[in-house]
Amino acid sequence: MQSVVRSPAEARVWRSHTELSAQAGKAFQELLPYCVPGVQEWTCHDEGGPVVTFVPGHGMPAEEIEDRLSEALRRALLTPTRPPRILYDRPAVPASGASEAADVRTTGQGLIVLGPVMARLAGAVDEYARRTAAELGAAEYGVPHLVSWETIERAGYARTFPQHLTACSVVQGDLGALDRFAAAEGRDARSTELTTAPVTLSPTVCMHLFAAHADRALPEPVLATARQACARHELIQEGATRLWSFNMREIIYLGHQSGARDLCRDVMARLIAFTEELGLPATISSASDPFFTVERDALTGYQSRLDLKQELRGRMRDGREVAVTSVNIHNEHFGDSFAITMDGRAISSACVGYGLERWGLWLYDHVGEDPAQWPAVLRDLAGL
């Protein structure tokens, strides 16, 4: 149940009297920015249910914003109520002293440059993931940071994660357009000479492997690893853990269902051992992806019911948790959509993704900038 109240300062107050679970509350907060386009300012707090106060702008009518908030609430309430399944939990040790400022520089929305220490930590984690992949028998692949729209469509990404896509544009292919683009001043003036490109920035690494093996019968399973820059747009990208552009190392399996599950089990065991060796607070639990569209109920329910996704979440010194690695089983989804078969049937697949910037931030928060104080395993991975 929702109600709307006008406040004296032209603000609108949308109020729900439905108390949300922790999972549903998180889902509503994720959906909220997509309900208030053009709004000058807005806030959200809880009073036995979400309360959103906003000042309408000159775009969408306030009534339509309120309808969207009600729809966001409806979708949030469809979030599975089963609590996450905890696979591993290493509690935090009380921290002494203040955290050191991270060695990063922000250069734009969701864009950061890692300084030397952060880059070395991120590189150490990449080396750990690369060694893990090699020990499991994975071959190293090189993949681009752009992906074709055809691949995006075949993967189903436009249907499931439209909020993350970053479409690309290029200057129109005629000499006059080149001259006008060069002579114009500023983004808005130049944008009139742009046309949509047949690619987007790649939101994942694994998608390239499915495209590379599309419309083929595999003679044997494929186990691959690759590192590349990825891009996932979010309306609110604050701080260095919510990045538009980031680097990810993935391990990808294409083959039998048993092989996909074996990969995930083996990687999970190695992650637990690595976290123990680092001595850092973390948890591994079941998770679900941020499905925002009208298909949210079916997609989230399917993923949760079959326990297809687990995350390693590092605990920061201030209590926040940051997802640094995800372990994902796709069943036959990509085998079907990319027409990849083995032994006469669609392949099953799985992938493991290591977010290198997030790993670097988590490590830096605990081990600091002096390599002499880092755990031995980390110094070895960093080549020290």
Same domain, 227 and 112: yes
CATH number of the domain that 38 lies in? 3.30.1360
175 domain-assigned? no
Structural domain containing residue 63: 2-77
Whether residue 172 is contained in a domain is answered as: no
CATH number at residue 250: 3.30.930.10
Residue 131 sits in the same domain as residue 34: no
> Which tokens in the block code for residue 352?
């493991």
**Which residues fall within 8 angstroms of residue 52, CB to CB, at 6 or more apart?**
13, 14, 15, 32, 36, 42, 43, 44, 69
Measure the CA angle with vertex 332, ends 328 and 335; round to 5°. 105
- Asked, for residue 163, whether it belongs to a domain, the answer is no
CA angle 83, 84, 90 (to 5 degrees): 125
For residues 3 and 18, the answer to whether their CB atoms sit within 8 Å is no
Residue 156 lies in a domain: no
Pair (308, 227) in one structural domain: yes
**298 falls within a domain:** yes
- 210 and 70 in one domain? no
Last residue of a domain, one of 29, 50, 77: 77
pLDDT values of the chain reduced to their tens digit, one per residue, 384 residues: 344 444 445 788 999 988 888 778 888 888 888 888 877 688 888 888 899 998 887 677 888 888 889 888 888 887 666 677 888 898 876 554 445 677 899 999 999 999 999 999 999 999 999 999 999 999 999 999 999 999 999 999 988 888 899 999 999 999 999 999 999 999 999 999 999 999 999 999 999 999 999 999 999 999 999 999 999 998 876 677 889 999 999 999 999 999 999 999 999 999 999 999 999 999 998 876 554 445 545 545 444 545 678 999 999 988 889 999 999 999 999 999 999 999 999 999 999 999 999 999 999 999 999 999 999 999 999 999
Torsional class of 339: left (φ above 0), alpha (ψ -120 to 50), beta (otherwise)? left
Do 8 and 139 lie in one domain? The reply is no
Establish if 191 belongs to a structural domain: no
Same domain, residue pair 290 and 323:
yes
Regarding whether 71 and 135 lie in a shared domain, the answer is no
Same domain, 66 and 102: no
Side-chain half-sphere of 203: how many Cα atoms within 13 Å? 20
**Statement to judge: residues 210 and 73 lie in one domain:** no
pLDDT for position 293 = 47
> Which helix (H) or strand (E) is 349 found in, with range?
strand 348-355
Shared domain for 213 and 322, answered yes or no, is: yes
Supply the pLDDT for residue 98: 43
CA 100, CA 187: separation in Å to the nearest integer?
37
Residues 319 and 364 in one domain: yes
Q: What is the pLDDT of residue 108?
A: 92
Same domain membership, residue 117 and residue 9? no
Q: Is residue 174 part of a domain?
A: no
CA-to-CA distance for 85 and 63, rounded, in angstroms? 40
Domains contained in the chain, number:
2
Q: Which of 54, 77, 100 is the last residue of a domain?
A: 77
